[in-house]
Structure 1
Amino acid sequence: MKLGKLSPSMLSNLLGQIHINDPRVLLGPGIGEDAALIDFGSKVLVAKTDPITFATDLIGWYAVQVNANDIACSGATPRWFLASVLLPDSISEDKIEAIFSQLTEACEELEVSLIGGHTEITQDLKQPIIVGCMLGETEKGKTISTSGAQIGDSIVATKGIAIEGTTLLAQQYYTQLIGKGVSVSTLESAKTLLRSPGISVVKDARIACSKVPINSLHDPTEGGLATGLREIALAAAVGMKIDVDAIPVLPECTTICEALSLDPLGLLASGCLIATLPKQSTSELISALEHEGIEARTIGEITKADSGIVMYNSEGSNPLPDYDRDEFARYLETQSK
């Protein structure tokens, strides 16, 4: 099997085997739905789990951020976090303490309580893995699902792409990229993207939900912006028309992807929030985000399903690329051979 997510067809078949009889489960597993919703009286409990499997010195910090993002994209506030931390037998005590410090510091930054989890030294593990579980809450009637996108909605993207993938490539293939002609200044700038503009979309989502009527929010991760857009379309049974020239590709991302022959649209895109909303509210949303220092722009619109998912520019239109795995995972695999 290839590295990365299971294919949508395989995942759809697997999820089709799940039958939920509990009426308190308001939203269960589905393509493009990254969190579950559970009826808790006057509140809705939102539950999310996500692992960090790529090598990174910030694995604890990452684990909190990516799980909090999906809670926020459900219209909820991240509240409680649990982490299962699996460690190789070669790890030092200093590194274990560093991971724990990252977990606690990231939770404090987001005002999340670290309420439990599990730790162990695991046989045959090459690098640490953290499987996080984030719980959040919101009031009834205020939840948002990926499937909520409506025909006629504008599609807005924040910050730019591909923050996470660009940083990981710069960190892990620094020397190789220098050899391919990428400047030191570009690589150093790329390494700072995790913090500024950052991979958290919690603030982006909070602003969006508080300022305008939002139909759908989604946090594109593996498979990049293109996969995130496709997940919205599949979940909502709609089509899309995407303006290629409007997609905010960060200059560091463009340079590094060109050097490694990768496509920015298919590269790990944590940090970019996709929002769909009524067209008449688009300007207000963009203004509200930019007032808080978050860049945002309209990149397309939701169309009927039979229109397909297409990209267009002045030269014409083409189907949105369909990636069977993330571009980072694809490159990682080529380097391990």
Structure 2
Amino acid sequence: MKEGKVPADVLSKFVYTNLGLKRSDVLLHSGIGEDCSVIEVGEYAVILSSDPITASNNLSGYLSVIISCNDIASCGAKPIGVLETILLPSGSDEELLHDIMKEIDRGAKELNVEVLGGHSEVTSSVNKPIISTTAVGMCKRNKFIKTSGAKLNDDVIVTKSLGLEGTFIIANDYYDILKKHISLKTLDNAKSFINELSAVKDGLISAANGANSMHDITEGGLLGAAYEVAEASNKGIEIYNDLIPIREETKIICNFFNIDPLKLISSGSMIITSSDGSKLVNELKKQNIEATIIGKITEHGKFLIDKDKKIEILPPDSDEIYKISI
């Protein structure tokens, strides 16, 4: 298998066939595109999500909190806390652990969540720090949103701009190389995207204003997320290329490495479907969150419409960020 997320067909064959007992108090079970599980607790639902940070070499502790809490918010729930598992390479010093924990603390304070626990270990099994986060949230039992909730003729909306996380990671990790070819202003702007990687506000506003389906756009980028929303909902989807918001910094950096911004990890942006997309976009904009209608949920077929071309959207492959080699 290629580096990155395990392909959907492999998950279906080997993972989703081995999930133990299906419990009646679990309201949302594991499935393609569903980043969270939902457990019934009286009139409330407890939302759980787990994610590793592997693509970034810097600020991974901070990203671990932000990205996992985005998943909770994509369910329409408010994050409460995180559990962090930190694996460090053999020979790591104490200062590395301290730096990671300071980053985790920063992210947790920004989102008003508690670090509930976790595990830390030094092991020869890894050659760089690996952080895996489990995030916990809560909402009313009948208020959570599913990736699989998209309805026929829903508008398809994205928040902010595509590729924010990937652009930040590349600009940060390859800064010394890129500064020889790209203006410092462009690179510094790209590095500032870290301040926009939380989509918690996006998710909570959307859940309260008519979202039928939400999905955090992570590995595989917009096209991967669009595929997963349609596949999970048993619907089709059409995305219009000329409507997709991509910032100039992302275009420049992706062009330099010859990678596709539509398949680039994009935490900070959320894909949302709603029967009244204009209303939802207006509500997001009132809260100073960029939002754009980029497509429609259809009966069948998954397509990117580029002028007069209709390009099939395929199951997400390895994220574009893994194709960078220097």
Q: Same fold (TM over 0.5)?
A: yes
SS, match of residue 290 in structure 1: helix
Quick check: 2:148–2:213 contact (8 Å CA) kept in 1? yes
Runs of at least 5 residues in structure 1 that lack an aligned partner in the other structure: none
Instruction: Please give the secondary structure, in 2, of the residue aligned with 1:193.
Output: helix
What's the CA shift string for 1:110-169, capped at 9, x where partnerless?
111111111111124221111111111110110110000001000000101100111111
2:318 is matched with which residue: 308, 314, 325? 325
Task: Tell me, yes or no, if the aligned pair for 2:154 and 2:277 is still in contact at 8 Å.
Answer: no
> What CA distance in whole angstroms lies between the structure 2 residues aligned with 1:124 and 1:82?
21
Range with greater deviation from structure 2 (87-96 or 165-174)? 87-96
Distance in 2 separating the partners of 1:257 and 1:298: 23
Match of 1:155 in 2: 156
Q: What is the deviation of 1:91?
A: 2.4
Q: Does structure 1 residue 309 correspond to structure 2 residue 302?
A: yes
**Shift of residue 61 of structure 1?**
0.8
The gaps in structure 2 that reach 5 residues or longer are none
User: Structure 1: how far apart are the matches of 2:229 and 2:98?
Assistant: 39
1:61-101 Cα deviation digits (max 9, x unpaired): 11111110111111111112111111122323222112111
Cα distance in 1 for partners of 2:103, 2:136 equals 19
Q: In the TM superposition, what are the counterparts of 1:41-120 in structure 2 within 5 Å?
A: 41-120=42-121
Correspondence for 2:200: 202
How many angstroms does 1:105 deviate by? 2.2
Aligned partners of 1:117 and 1:73: how far apart in 2? 23
> Equivalences for 1:184-333 in 2 at 5 Å?
184-195=184-195, 198-210=196-208, 212-278=209-275, 281-305=276-300, 308-320=301-313, 322-331=315-324
Q: Name the CA distance, whole Å, in 2 between partners of 1:104 and 1:234.
A: 36
Question: Alpha-carbon deviations, 1:213-234, whole Å to 9, x = none?
Answer: 2110000100111101101011
In the superposition, the TM-score normalised over structure 2's length comes to 0.96
SS in 2 for 1:45: strand
**Contact 2:76/2:139 (CA < 8 Å) preserved in 1?**
yes
Shift of residue 48 of structure 1? 0.7
For residues 132-171 of structure 1, the aligned pairs below 5 Å read 132-171=133-172
| Residues 267-276 or 319-328, more deviating | 319-328
Aligned AA for 2:192?
Answer: T
* Separation in 2, partners of 1:165, 1:95: 23
Deviation at 1:19, TM superposition (A): 4.4
SS at match of 1:182: coil
Which residue number in structure 1 is paired with residue 7 of structure 2? 7
Q: Is contact 1:55–1:128 with CA below 8 Å preserved after alignment?
A: no
Percent sequence identity over matched residues? Answer: 36
Aligned residue for 1:192, secondary structure, equals helix
Work out whether residues 210 and 280 of structure 2, in 8 Å CA contact, stay in contact via their aligned partners in 1: no
- Residue 172 of structure 1 corresponds to 173
Helix, strand or coil at the partner of 1:171: helix
User: What is the Cα deviation at residue 323 of structure 1?
Assistant: 4.2
Task: Provide the C-alpha distance between the structure 1 equivalents of 2:265 and 2:217, rounded to a whole number of angstroms.
Answer: 7
Paired residue type of 1:209: A
Count residues in correspondence.
325
Maintained 8 Å contact 1:86/1:128: yes
Which stretch shifts more, 123-132 or 137-146? 123-132
Tell me which moved more, 181-190 or 60-69: 181-190
One-letter code of the match for 1:43? Answer: Y
Aligned equivalents of 1:258, 1:21: Cα separation in 2 = 46
Task: Tell me, in whole angstroms, the C-alpha distance in 1 between the residues paired with 2:217 and 2:121.
Answer: 30
Following superposition, the deviation at residue 285 of structure 1 comes to 1.3
Q: Residues 27 and 323 from structure 1, CA distance in 2 versus in 1: closer, same or farther, beyond 3 angstroms?
A: closer
How far apart, in 2, do the equivalents of 1:132 and 1:60 lie? 9
In 2: Cα distance, 1:4 partner to 1:90 partner = 26
